[in-house]
A and B are shown apart, each in its own frame.
Chain A
Amino acid sequence: MSLTVKKLSFTYNPGLPTEAKALQNVSFNAEKGEILSIVGHTGSGKSTLAMHLNGLLVPQSGEVIVDGLKTDSEPNNLKKIRQCVGLVFQYPEQQIFAETVRDEISFGPYNWGKRGEALEERVFEAMDLIGLDNSFASANPFLLSGGEKRRVAIASVLASEPGYLVLDEPTAGLDFTGVCELTLLLRSMSEKGICVIHITHDLELALNISDRILIISEGTVTAYGTPSEISEMLSNINVKGLILPDILSLSYELKKTGSIENLTSDPYRLAEQIKAAKMRCR
């Protein structure tokens, strides 16, 4: 069971003067239980890609296959796929519309046909997963803090029990405490077997929290691999809109000159290596 994207290409307004290629020949695979970060500059095609993952857009060429179902075949498939792939847009709190947290979160499962106790159960499960205790159920979502609103918005997607959760820039605008809480949350969801697809332009964050990273630039995949593989690769290629995190770029320079052995984006590990190197010089 996995989400597979094969040679996906997409062009906005094909044949018109405003034609814009958004994705070209993108392929990757996301497994249940992992965090895959998709990193790219503004305008690289990240959000277009996100919309392909649950069939909001269908491929012009190539294919997207979710648990064996293609997004561009029957409408029946699409319904199953949308239930299976939850999409959390940028600033999801802007989509909040209901008067209580309970109503907000039950909107999804209600539309998938849940009623009564089954519906109630879904709501509380989702709240539990996202770390909102039951007292929030009757709260007005508009009066919650920024971080809490975002959690309500994510819970309302989780309530439909998706196997895949796609989040577009989930940490944008959150303070540090909010970012920490959210990254812990993504980890705990992946440990519960959900596949978390995390779209961001923060390479440093991606290197720290992901199992695998996909880097796209101007609609094409420029690198795909584990954080340590990506660290190696990035030192050799120049990706538009992305800057190597300071520590990683310094460690790359020092490695090139032979002063240290391992690439790292962790300041403590870099400092350790520099200390060790200095001792050898003496």
Chain B
Amino acid sequence: MAPVSAMLPRWRLYSWSNNLMSSGTTLYLKGAEFQYPDNEKKVLKGIDLEIRAGEWIALLGPNGSGKSTLLKLFNALLLPSQGCCFIDGINTNETKSVALIRSKVSIVFQNPEDQIVASVVEEDTAFGPENLGLRSDEIKIRVKEALISVGLWEKRKHAVSSLSGGQKQRLALAGVFAIRPGSLLLDEAMSMLDPASRKSFLDLIKREHSSGCTIVQVTHRLDEILNSDRTVVITDGQISWQGKTENFLSISENELKDMGFAKPPVAVLKEELVKSGIIPGSTRSDIGEIRKKLCLLQ
């Protein structure tokens, strides 16, 4: 077992001591196909994908390529029409295991309105743990820790309707944190945020990941995936590219453009500087690292 690092957020320490929750979930798809009823077109066409516990996957692809459908397979909101999906070895088509799967795998959707259910902030956050059938003192602790971690504890008695878009998106995240899932699936969960809120949201995800949570992140913005381990590109229901994120980001700007992606300016800068031998090739595509390397040069 990995050492309990001091970096772990408080609630993870708590769960380690209380119910020895596993740190991350393994997600596995084997030959998964999916087709919506009344529609001839297959949305997913034979996906084989294994996501290890604690891995951070960036899931990319154009609008309508099947990314959101794939996420829904992982927490049994949808079942594959062919092939199968396993969460920590449990087949998602076993009806009796659905509750267990949902407690392991949580999705944050693009529009927070889709998953906010209560009218008061703390009641909304309590909804998940209540449905797990936890004791009320346990629920209180989880709600407090989740709201503190997203910075909404002061607003716990406020009406949900008084929150801004960004705050609602953080509330949706708190609701998911309170369930303490082993994996977090983000379906363009930052699309409605301004850059500053985007950064603090991303910091929360980084913290989750460092405490062992599996992350699957769907986005259109490559500047959000710089922290991920592996990139998987879905095109027209199939995996069209997968590999290390750093390798994905070093694909040339034109080639990425043909694939439908904008190369993040930071990755362009890194490549240009590496090419001319100013910074070492091992530098990550991260502005902080580039800055450090440049300062050393001066």
Q: Is A265 an interface residue (CB 8 A)?
A: yes
- Residues of chain B at the chain A interface (Cβ within 8 Å): 62-64, 110, 164-166, 188, 191-197, 199, 220, 223, 257, 260-262, 265-266, 268-269, 272-273, 276, 278, 287, 290-291, 294, 297-298
- B63 near A175 with CB under 8 A, answer yes
- B191 near A267 with CB under 8 A, answer no
Compute how far the CA of A14 lies from the CA of B3 in the bound complex, rounded to whole angstroms. Answer: 56
Which residues of A sit under 8 angstroms from B63, Cβ to Cβ? 145-147, 174-175, 178
Compute how far the CA of A266 lies from the CA of B268 in the bound complex, rounded to whole angstroms. Answer: 9
Q: List 26 A-B contacts (CB under 8 A).
A: A41-B194, A41-B196, A42-B194, A43-B164, A146-B63, A147-B63, A175-B260, A176-B261, A201-B194, A201-B195, A204-B265, A242-B194, A242-B196, A243-B195, A245-B265, A246-B287, A247-B265, A247-B266, A250-B291, A265-B265, A266-B265, A267-B266, A267-B272, A271-B273, A271-B276, A278-B278
Compute how far the CA of A146 lies from the CA of B62 in the bound complex, rounded to whole angstroms. Answer: 10
Which residues of A sit under 8 angstroms from B195, Cβ to Cβ? 201-203, 241-243
Q: In the assembled complex, how far is the CB of residue B143 from the closest CB belonging to chain A, in whole angstroms?
A: 24
Please judge, given known A-B contacts A42-B165, A175-B260, A177-B62, whether A275 and B276 are in contact too, CB under 8 Å.
Answer: yes
A42-B165, A275-B273 given; 5 more Cβ-contact pairs under 8 Å? A145-B64, A173-B191, A175-B260, A270-B269, A275-B278
Please judge, given known A-B contacts A241-B197, A267-B265, whether A42 and B290 are in contact too, CB under 8 Å.
Answer: no
Q: In the assembled complex, how far is the CB of residue A202 from the closest CB belonging to chain B, in whole angstroms?
A: 8
Which residues of B sit under 8 angstroms from A247, Cβ to Cβ? 265-266, 269, 287
- A267 near B269 with CB under 8 A, answer yes
The listed residue with most A CB atoms (<10 A of its CB), out of B110, B166, B193, B294, is: B294
Q: In the assembled complex, how far is the CB of residue B276 from the closest CB belonging to chain A, in whole angstroms?
A: 5
Compute how far the CA of A204 lies from the CA of B297 in the bound complex, rounded to whole angstroms. Answer: 28
- B268 near A174 with CB under 8 A, answer no
- A173 near B260 with CB under 8 A, answer no
Which residues of B sit under 8 angstroms from A174, Cβ to Cβ? 63, 220
Q: In the assembled complex, how far is the CB of residue B77 from the closest CB belonging to chain A, in whole angstroms?
A: 20
Which residues of A sit under 8 angstroms from B291, Cβ to Cβ? 250, 253
- B196 near A175 with CB under 8 A, answer no
- A250 near B287 with CB under 8 A, answer yes
Which residues of A sit under 8 angstroms from B62, Cβ to Cβ? 175, 177
Which residues of B sit under 8 angstroms from A42, Cβ to Cβ? 164-166, 192-194, 197
Task: Indicate with 1 or 0, residue by residue over A188-207, a CB within 8 angstroms of chain B CB atoms.
Answer: 00000000000001111000
Q: How large is the interface on A (under 10, 10 to 19, 20 to 34, 35 or more residues)?
A: 35 or more
Which residues of B sit under 8 angstroms from A243, Cβ to Cβ? 195-196, 199
Compute how far the CA of A267 lies from the CA of B267 in the bound complex, rounded to whole angstroms. Answer: 9
- How many A-B pairs with Cβ below 8 Å? 99
- B260 near A176 with CB under 8 A, answer yes
Compute how far the CA of A145 lies from the CA of B63 in the bound complex, rounded to whole angstroms. Answer: 8
Which residues of B sit under 8 angstroms from A173, Cβ to Cβ? 110, 188, 191
A-B residue pairs, 10 tightest by C-beta: A271-B272, A267-B268, A267-B269, A246-B287, A201-B194, A267-B265, A243-B195, A41-B194, A146-B63, A241-B194
Q: In the assembled complex, how far is the CB of residue B43 from the closest CB belonging to chain A, in whole angstroms?
A: 14
| Identity of the chain B residue whose Cβ is nearest the Cβ of A40 in the assembled complex | B194
- B266 near A246 with CB under 8 A, answer yes
| Identity of the chain A residue whose Cβ is nearest the Cβ of B219 in the assembled complex | A175
Task: Indicate with 1 or 0, residue by residue over A260-282, a CB within 8 angstroms of chain B CB atoms.
Answer: 00000111101100110010010
| Identity of the chain A residue whose Cβ is nearest the Cβ of B60 in the assembled complex | A175
Q: Is A236 an interface residue (CB 8 A)?
A: no
| Identity of the chain B residue whose Cβ is nearest the Cβ of A146 in the assembled complex | B63
Q: Is A222 an interface residue (CB 8 A)?
A: no
| Identity of the chain B residue whose Cβ is nearest the Cβ of A270 in the assembled complex | B269
Which residues of B sit under 8 angstroms from A265, Cβ to Cβ? 265
Which residues of B sit under 8 angstroms from A203, Cβ to Cβ? 195
Which residues of A sit under 8 angstroms from B276, Cβ to Cβ? 271, 275
Q: Is A172 an interface residue (CB 8 A)?
A: yes
| Identity of the chain A residue whose Cβ is nearest the Cβ of B288 in the assembled complex | A246
Which residues of A sit under 8 angstroms from B261, Cβ to Cβ? 176
Q: Is A240 an interface residue (CB 8 A)?
A: yes
Which residues of A sit under 8 angstroms from B262, Cβ to Cβ? 176, 179
Which residues of B sit under 8 angstroms from A40, Cβ to Cβ? 194
Q: Is A259 an interface residue (CB 8 A)?
A: yes
| Identity of the chain A residue whose Cβ is nearest the Cβ of B262 in the assembled complex | A176
| Identity of the chain A residue whose Cβ is nearest the Cβ of B164 in the assembled complex | A43
Compute how far the CA of A270 lies from the CA of B221 in the bound complex, rounded to whole angstroms. Answer: 22
Compute how far the CA of A247 lies from the CA of B110 in the bound complex, rounded to whole angstroms. Answer: 28
